[in-house]
Amino acid sequence: MNPHRTQKIAFSLLFLATFLVVALVGAIVVIIVQKGLPAMTWQFISDVPREGMRAGGIFPAIIGTLLLVGGAIVFALPIGLLAAIYLSEYARDGLLTRIIKLAIVNLAGVPSVVYGLFGLALFVVFFKFGVSIVSGSLTLGIMILPLIITASREALESVPRSFREVSLSLGASKWQTIQHIVLPNAIPGILTGTILGLGRAAGETAPILFTVAAFYLPQLPRSIFDQVMALPYHLYVISTQVPNVDEKIRYGTALVLLALVLFMNLIAIIIRYKFRMKKKW
Amino acid sequence: MMNKIITRDLNLWYGDFHALKKVNAAFQANRITAIIGPSGCGKSTLLRVFNRMNDFVEGVRTEGEVLIDDLNVLDPAADLVSLRKKIGMVFQRPNPFPLSIYENIVFGARIRGTRAKRGEMDEIVETSLRSVLLWNELKDKLRSSALRLSLEQEQRLCIARLIAVKPDVLLMDEPCSTLDPQATERIENLMRELKNNYTIVIVTHNMQQAARVSDDTGFMLLGELIEFNETKDIFSSPKDKRTEDYITGRYG
- What is the CA B47 to chain-centroid distance, rounded? 7
Task: Report, as an integer, the average pLDDT of A137-161.
Answer: 93
Return the DSSP state at B197. Answer: T
Closest CA to A145 of A97, A89, A84: A84
φ and ψ at B225, to 5 degrees?
A: -90, 105
Residue A46 pLDDT exceeds 80: yes
Does any CB of chain A come closer than 8 Å to the CB of residue B82?
A: yes
Closest CA to A255 of A72, A14, A45: A45
- Please tell me the distance in Å from B121's CA to the nearest CA on chain A: 17
Residues of chain B in contact with residue A274, where contact means CB-CB under 8 angstroms, are: none
Contact across the interface for A176 and B84, Cβ inside 8 Å: no
Residues of chain A in contact with residue B107, where contact means CB-CB under 8 angstroms, are: 167, 170, 172, 180
Tell me the pLDDT tens digit for each residue of A26-35: 999 999 999 9
* Integer Rg of chain A from CA: 23
Q: What does DSSP say about strands B169-173 and B199-203: parallel, antiparallel, or unpaired?
A: parallel
The 3-class SS string of chain A reads CCHHHHHHHHHHHHHHHHHHHHHHHHHHHHHHHHHHHHHCCHHHHHCCEECCCCEECCHHHHHHHHHHHHHHHHHHHHHHHHHHHHHHHHCCCCHHHHHHHHHHHHHHHCCHHHHHHHHHHHHHHHCCCCCCHHHHHHHHHHHHHHHHHHHHHHHHHCCCHHHHHHHHHCCCCHHHHHHHHHHHHHHHHHHHHHHHHHHHHHHCCHHHHCCCECCCCCCCCCCCCCCECCHHHHHHHHHHHCCCCCHHHHHHHHHHHHHHHHHHHHHHHHHHHHHHHHCCC
Residue A169 pLDDT exceeds 80: yes
Closest CA to B59 of B20, B16, B15, B21: B15
Contact across the interface for A172 and B158, Cβ inside 8 Å: no
pLDDT at A265: 87
Do the beta carbons of residue B32 and residue B19 sit within 8 Å? no
Residue A199 pLDDT exceeds 80: yes
Contact across the interface for B107 and A170, Cβ inside 8 Å: yes
Residue A279 pLDDT exceeds 80: no
Q: Which CATH class is domain B3-92+168-247?
A: alpha beta
pLDDT at A222: 87
The whole-angstrom separation of Cα A78 and Cα A82 is: 6
pLDDT at B27: 93
**B8 CB-near residues (< 8 Å, 6+ apart):** B24, B64, B65, B66, B67
Residue A277 pLDDT exceeds 80: no
The whole-angstrom separation of Cα A260 and Cα A66 is: 9
Angle at which helices B181-194 and B151-163 pack, to 10 degrees? 10
The number of beta carbons lying within 10 Å of the beta carbon of residue A24 is: 10
Do the beta carbons of residue B164 and residue B106 sit within 8 Å? yes
The confidence band for B114, taking pLDDT boundaries of 50, 70 and 90, is: low
The confidence band for A280, taking pLDDT boundaries of 50, 70 and 90, is: low
The whole-angstrom separation of Cα B223 and Cα B31 is: 24
Contact across the interface for B95 and A280, Cβ inside 8 Å: no
Tell me the pLDDT tens digit for each residue of A212-231: 888 888 888 888 898 899 99
Closest CA to A260 of A22, A74, A26, A64: A64
Closest CA to A273 of A189, A153, A166, A162: A189
Residues of chain A in contact with residue B84, where contact means CB-CB under 8 angstroms, are: 168-171
Residues of chain B in contact with residue A181, where contact means CB-CB under 8 angstroms, are: 97
The ipTM, to two decimals, is 0.87
Half-sphere exposure of A272 (CA within 13 A, CB side): 15
Tell me the pLDDT tens digit for each residue of B146-205: 888 999 999 999 999 999 988 999 999 999 988 889 889 989 999 999 999 999 999 998
- What is the CA A46 to chain-centroid distance, rounded? 24
DSSP string computed for B155-179: HHHHHHHHHTT--SEEEEESTTTTS
* Beta-bridge partners for A23: none
Task: Report, as an integer, the average pLDDT of A164-193.
Answer: 90
Q: Is A237 left (phi over 0), alpha (psi -120 to 50) or beta?
A: alpha
Task: Report, as an integer, the average pLDDT of B41-49.
Answer: 92
**A39 CB-near residues (< 8 Å, 6+ apart):** A246, A248, A249, A251, A252, A253, A255
The confidence band for A80, taking pLDDT boundaries of 50, 70 and 90, is: very high
- What is the CA B116 to chain-centroid distance, rounded? 28
Do the beta carbons of residue B142 and residue B134 sit within 8 Å? no
CA nearest to A185 within chain B? B98
Range A63-246 classified under CATH 3.40.50.620: no
- Domain boundary assignment for chain B: 3-92+168-247
pLDDT at A73: 93
Task: Report, as an integer, the average pLDDT of A133-149.
Answer: 94
pLDDT at B250: 72
pLDDT at B251: 67
Residue B58 pLDDT exceeds 60: yes
Contact across the interface for B85 and A279, Cβ inside 8 Å: no
- What is the CA B109 to chain-centroid distance, rounded? 21
Residue A281 pLDDT exceeds 60: no
Percentage of residues of chain B with pLDDT beyond 90 = 61
